[in-house]
Structure 1
Amino acid sequence: PERLAELPIVTANGQRIALADVADIYVEDGPPAIKSENARPNGWTFVDIEGVDVGTYVQRAMEVVADELDLPAGYSVTWSGQYEYMLRAKEKLSYVVPLTLAIIVILLYMSFKRFSEVAIIMGTLPLAMVGAIWLMYLLGYNFSVAVGVGFIALAGVAVEIGVIMLVYLNQAYQQMLEGCQHKGVQPRRETLRHAVLHGAALRVRPVMMTSVSTIAGLLPLMYSSGTGSEVVSRIAAPMVGGMLSAVILTLLVLPCVYYLWKCRHVNHA
């Protein structure tokens, strides 16, 4: 700085003076570059978060900034980065999720022609969600856009397993009715129970194969490392946890619900 202060400069009238005569030369810390956006100078503050999702952190940070920071006129604070991407994705998920469920309901109704059977299959979703939420809790994952995508994928797979079981339960029920009609007897609860057990037993192996193969394919993604692993692991985790609980529902709860539903028809007959 001392040598820089002695730098000669020429004034408008041709006089030579030192730079120190018209300026103070000193060294201080400052930004490496002056950035601007929308014709306004701006500064960026980067934050690494851990143990909490981006949305929750930003909401808490907004409250602290609003309480503790009094911005002068002309200054403003904008939250960007992953939080901005999350808001855009949430906006899309707000209509993608209902649209997905509506498509599932329409396809199920076109297949079974009864809203009662559609309701039974859609009942597989809550228990599948329970397993997904528990696994996310055990892994310490917070809700994010990637997790939302995993839940959407889980809904499709869980419904598929329920359809596999319900189709064979209906076949066993129809065979029971045909057998009772051939023998000239009325169907009874005991006959219905055997038919439900027979139909459910036929689907144990296909359901288990579907679930195990899906889980085995997702486990490497859930425990992967490297570029993009944080995203794919949060997509895979809800599906793995949901598949575990969906199998329990499909093999144990769904046949019981079907039996109770058909008992009304048997009693009426």
Structure 2
Amino acid sequence: RHGLSVADVQAVVSTAIGGDNVGEVILGRERYPINLRYPREIRDSLERLRQLPFVTDKGAQLLLGDVARIAIEDGPPMLRSENARLSGWVYVDVRGRDLRSAVDDMQAAVGKAVKMPAGYAVSWSGQFEYLERATERLKLVIPVTLAVIFVLLYLLFRSFADAALVMAAVPFSLVGGFWLVWALGHSISVATAVGFIALAGVAAEFGVVMLVYLKNALARRLDAGEPMNDQTLLAAIREGAVLRVRPKAMTVAVVMAGLLPILWGSGTGSEVMTRIAAPMVGGMVSAPLLSMLVVPAAWYLLRRRGHPSPVSQPTTEGVLP
């Protein structure tokens, strides 16, 4: 009716109340804008704002109250949107428990007590979202990695039994890491998962080197002409296992010396680094013990099945054909 659009009225409101930069003051290297707007006594009064005159493009003089309803209402300081939809955020700080179980409990409580109207949705983001992404990737990466390691072990030993022995020993080597993580009160997170992956690699290396020493000791005795029996096998296992004690002790000492300062550190980034180092430090107790005590015994049982000890045969002296 007046030849106005909503944008025209909004321009009057923004200029009169919010102000409009009409120039700039230059003071050396400094720049200050010149902002023009109505005096405070007009801007703070609803009645005076309703009486605010302005001229249309057709020359008609109108009051702001003629084309707009002016009132003071509470509203959000900022309108947030995501995926082209309005969104509101609720921030939660989790302490004293692991993130996954806390979010699972919150999701159950929200799903039970909050009924979403049509057009509304709830999503859980933040560190939990990153944890979910990392978990999905680990579900794919870990099986593929284990399969590759098994193939490499088979190519090294040319024996499914030896490769399976090393792979079966790896999970039991992680026991010390789990105990130390529990003792320190840490929750299982992406950082601790990285520490366990590194520990698994070291544990597999311990098992591989131990089997190499055992096989080499047995090969030397067989090359020397000793028969393949229980005595030869046990002597080779003792020789190979004893040769690995000092190198393994040196390896454990070096790893512990490098990780203990990280484990007890309190500087920037220590919250993540301690959770990576804890599984490694705990595993440096269980992994060497397993490789030095359990792996030789298990290998003895495997080789003994393939080469049983000879049994005494009845003598044939004096027996006619």
Alignment of 1:194-233 (within 5 A): 194-233=235-274
* CA deviations over 1:229-267 (Å, ceiling 9, x no partner): 322222222222222110110111112122222333442
Q: Aligned to 2:81, what secondary structure does the other structure show?
A: strand
Specify which structure has the bigger relative contact order, considering alpha-carbon pairs within 8 angstroms and separated by 6 or more residues.
1
Q: How far apart, in 1, do the equivalents of 2:108 and 2:147 lie? A: 37
Task: Determine which of 39, 44, 53 is the counterpart of 1:10.
Answer: 53
Between the aligned residues of both structures, percent identity stands at 46
Higher-helix-fraction structure: 1
- Name the residue aligned to 2:90: 45
Q: How far apart, in 1, do the equivalents of 2:149 and 2:128 lie? A: 31
Alignment of 1:120-269 (within 5 A): 120-181=165-226, 186-267=227-308
- Name the residue aligned to 1:79: 124
- Name the residue aligned to 1:32: 77
Q: Give me the CA root mean square deviation.
A: 2.5
Deviates more, 1:2-11 or 1:144-153: 2-11
Q: How far apart, in 1, do the equivalents of 2:307 and 2:114 lie? A: 71
Q: Describe the shift of the 1:188–1:22 C-alpha distance in structure 2 as closer, same or farther (beyond 3 A).
A: closer
Paired AA for residue 53 in structure 2: V
Residue 6 of structure 1 and its aligned partner are, at CA, apart by: 4.2
- Name the residue aligned to 2:163: 118
Q: Describe the shift of the 1:15–1:108 C-alpha distance in structure 2 as closer, same or farther (beyond 3 A).
A: closer
Q: Describe the shift of the 1:31–1:217 C-alpha distance in structure 2 as closer, same or farther (beyond 3 A).
A: farther
Q: Aligned to 1:7, what secondary structure does the other structure show?
A: helix
Q: Aligned to 2:101, what secondary structure does the other structure show?
A: helix
* CA deviations over 1:10-59 (Å, ceiling 9, x no partner): 2776355789x943336x5x543121122222111111101222222111
Query: Greater CA radius of gyration, 1 or 2?
Result: 2
Gaps of 5+ in 1: none
